[in-house]
Structure 1
Amino acid sequence: MIRGIRGATTVRKNETSEIIGRASEMMEDIVKKNDLRADDVTQVLFSATTDLNSTFPAKALRNLEGWKYVPVMCMQEIEVPEGLERCIRVMVTVNTSISQKEINHIYHYDAVKLRPDLKKEGDDNEN
């Protein structure tokens, strides 16, 4: 079955090292908490708010060992009044047998505001 795993994080500054660092941190958490293998991933789609343009957040995926051949793409998030600033979002499409309810969506830093309803007992996603 194909499922989507969501994630989001924020950065303090529009700097390459911080964008790659926070996106890597988010992806590592998604991989760990969902027990993902690169071969089970169909695609990874990253979006970034318009105030982040110093690098592609998708480059963070290349920091994960074994993920070289996973298709990845970046796009710009739509500009919504009063939307969360300096935000990177991700949608990971995976082949899995687990149910929707068992998926661990990951929200770090200010992005925890986006989906507080998905926070699970014992989760430490507020880094």
Structure 2
Amino acid sequence: MARILAIDYGAKRTGIAVTDELKLIASGLTTVRTHDLESFLKDYFEKEKVELVLIGEPKQVDGTHSENEERIIHFINRFKKVFPTMQFERVDERFTSKMAFQTMIDSGLKKKQRQNKALVDEISATIILQTYLYR
């Protein structure tokens, strides 16, 4: 069985989450420097079977794309060239950062721990994955 991997693409950091092989549980995997994302994915795809990659689609409240969308389109074009057989879908990621931060508060993380932007990105990727799984 294969996993589903979710990407919360950012200018500096990218959060990554993945399902278990039965596609029942979404878990944060890691946060990588965006510059290193392609090599990370190559390594991960060699080690784990992934059938689908979810890429967050950043939108404003009114439904228009945010300023990060241009970077993501560039990434998607490169992704299609490097991983031509890998399926991908876009998932609306509105409010995932706010939801991730609230999750950190609800989990009882201290203020210093909540300032860890890499953790916010990883949790955001997990929320993107959960959104897809539970729709």
The verdict on a shared fold, with TM-score over 0.5 as the criterion, is no
Higher normalized helix content (fraction of residues): 2
Normalization by structure 2: what TM-score?
A: 0.39
